Amino acid sequence: MAELTYREAVARAIAQEMERDPSVVLLGEDVAGAGGAFKATGGLLERFGPERVRDTPISEQAILGAAMGAAMTGLRPIAEVMFSDFFAVCWDMVANQIAKSRYMTAGQVQLPLVVRSGNGGGSRFGAQHSQSVENWAMAVPGLKVVAPSCPSDVIGLLAAAVRDPDPVLVFEHKSLYPTKGEVPDGELVGHLGQAALRRQGGDLTLVALAAMVPVALEAAERLAAEGVQATVIDLRSLVPLDVSTVLSSVSATGHLVTVEENPRLCGWGAELASIVAEECFYDLDGPIVRVTTPHVPLPAADSLEDLARPSVARVLEAVPRALG
């Protein structure tokens, strides 16, 4: 068992898969010589060489176009889009080409590719570099979408994504890169579409993703001091979505609060709330409550950014409404 930072886990995951499979290649802006903008790919160029670890021009269209072509012709590329906000400049490639090619060719063309990206706020990058866009990707048929919350899941989910036959978008949260966690020794491979039960309680279900998982866990600890025991579910994967784990918990607790960093309108929690209301309405003992970022561009000022993003205090304010 080793303790790694979230960013170190990214490099370990990529190295694990490149060591295992010579068809795995890495490409993106500054991923080679500089070790990545967030220093998450350090040492890979020295270990695997410039043929397999390649710096690209500053062009997201070029990065994903090259990755798509590589995947169509037998490689398993890992492409980096430095900030998830930059999906906006290559969204046609993602949503109309990568997501649909396998379907449109009746399976004759497979696209086993991974797109990694730094996602989310809390790092003071301003409105154009701090968005949580996982709900953009969730809305596109043909894409798988994951967002790890801890170093062990970074490795497990990234490895599972590389081995998957379909395109997978991996949203690495920028504010989590320096955080640490224990990681088992040896090869580590997770499962796409499997949520994790981070805490067990009988009074309330809190569902969170990525950087909101630590927020939910801290809120649950404070609730416990007040006599309210909360289950905390880390979704980990939005597509596939582990509905059964959430439904099972909500059926037991009767109450659901989602903690989402994406803007409120059309966030992933809205879809989850819809499913819960449809599938286990009569098990609910109170309203489903969503704690989200408001539907505004994320402010650059420290205090305003902190105010906009979900916090422990906002979760604690939401719980009494859910409990009725």
Task: Specify the pairing of strand 114-119 against strand 53-55.
Answer: unpaired
**CA-based max dimension of the chain:** 59
Instruction: Report residue 215: phi and psi, to 5°.
Output: -65, -45
Taking the CB of residue 197, how many other CB atoms lie within 10 A of it? 12
Side chain identity, residue 2: A
Q: CA–CA distance from 240 to each of 86, 90, 140, 195, 226 (Å)?
A: 23, 23, 12, 10, 35
For residue 131, pLDDT over 90 is answered with yes
Sketch out the chain's domains with CATH numbers.
2-183 (3.40.50.970), 196-323 (3.40.50.920)
pTM for the full predicted model = 0.96
Tokens 């930072």 label which residue? Answer: 5
Q: What is the mean pLDDT of the chain?
A: 97
Task: State mean pLDDT over 47-56.
Answer: 98
State the catalytic residues: 129
How far apart are the C-alpha atoms of 324 and 254, rounded to whole Å? 11
80-84, 122-126, 197-201, 221-225: the lowest-pLDDT one = 122-126
Instruction: State the Cα–Cα distance between residues 159 and 13, nearest whole angstrom.
Output: 6
Does the pLDDT of residue 1 top 90, yes or no?
A: no
